[in-house]
Amino acid sequence: MLRLKRLVHLGNSTSPSFLGSRIIVHGQDKLFPLPLPLLAQWSTNRFFFDSYKIPKTEEEIKKERARITDEMQRGYFNDFSEIKQHGGKIALANKVIVPALAASKFPSFEVEYPDGGTLKLPVISNGKIANADVLPNPKASVLCLSFRAYSQEMINSWCTPFLETFSASKDVELYEVSFIDTTLLCWKPVKRLLLRSVRSSKPDGSNERQRQMGYYFGDHYYFRKELGIQNLCTGYVFLVDKFGRIRWQGSGVASKEELTSLLSCTSLLLEEK
């Protein structure tokens, strides 16, 4: 996600046994040599394809068939067609905060950082003030999810004004997560190169403590199903409380009214006990 445009271009190189993979990171076009056998794992499908995880039991087979049927009903053309119609605004954002008793849990997942660290999201408060300087212990977290580089500007429309408003708060964290499901880029050697490139070109800004940039590599189908996410070309924003409950959500480019709603709901979370 953040400044990482997951666009891969395969071209010829001086050696016939290698192909070049271009990854655009922070505006810089970098070429990485990739072994030719990896092409056998290349998948242009909408979903992540792992030939090493073949369903064995009858239940697994039925589950996989249902998944394939579901995914075959949509494709990139469907996603872009929707984007043209509403500009990525899948649904209007909440106008008011969702009551705690009615809020659903955000599914847990683990992200990787460019420095090699990992973090399980959403961050749930442990109530121990002593750990505040060691681990994030926010009262409110904003999770910005991007599945395609196309949605980067949408995510920025939420992140920039949000961080400007809560830059002085130690109880608020913002996590921008880029989901990478291309088999080629999930291959460990390539993944390490990619994360290293991101680490060597840190983004500008004074809110790096609050603006956490993580990457999720691999299959995200069932994660998306839990959140009801279908269109992969738009950006998604979730406001989560300290117990991991979704109290507000939005998508696409932030409007003034929606942004006001997000800021207001975040302030309310900070006041909750």
pLDDT recorded at residue 119: 93
In the chain, what percentage of residues exceed pLDDT 90? 45
Separation of alpha carbons 189 and 175, rounded Å: 25
Show the DSSP H helices in 76-151 as ranges.
Answer: 76-86
Separation of alpha carbons 52 and 210, rounded Å: 38
pLDDT recorded at residue 151: 92
Q: Is 93 helix (H, G, I), strand (E, B) or coil?
A: coil
- What's the mean pLDDT in 114-126? 88
Residues 33-84 have pLDDT tens digits of 433 333 333 333 454 444 445 667 888 788 878 877 777 777 667 777 778 7
In sequence order, what DSSP letters do the residues of 225-258 get, joined into one string? HHHT---SSS-EEEEEETTSBEEEEEESSPPHHH
Residues 232-251 have pLDDT tens digits of 999 999 999 999 999 999 99
Work out the mean pLDDT of the chain and round it to a whole number: 77
Domains of the chain: 44-201+209-271 (3.40.30.10)
Residues 153-212 have pLDDT tens digits of 999 999 999 999 998 898 999 999 999 988 888 899 999 998 988 887 665 554 455 678
Residues 78-113 have pLDDT tens digits of 777 778 788 888 888 989 999 999 999 999 999 999
pLDDT recorded at residue 10: 35
Separation of alpha carbons 262 and 269, rounded Å: 11
Highest-confidence segment of 49-53, 121-125, 134-138, 262-266: 262-266
The residues near 60 (Cβ < 8 Å, ≥ 6 apart) are none
pTM score:
0.74
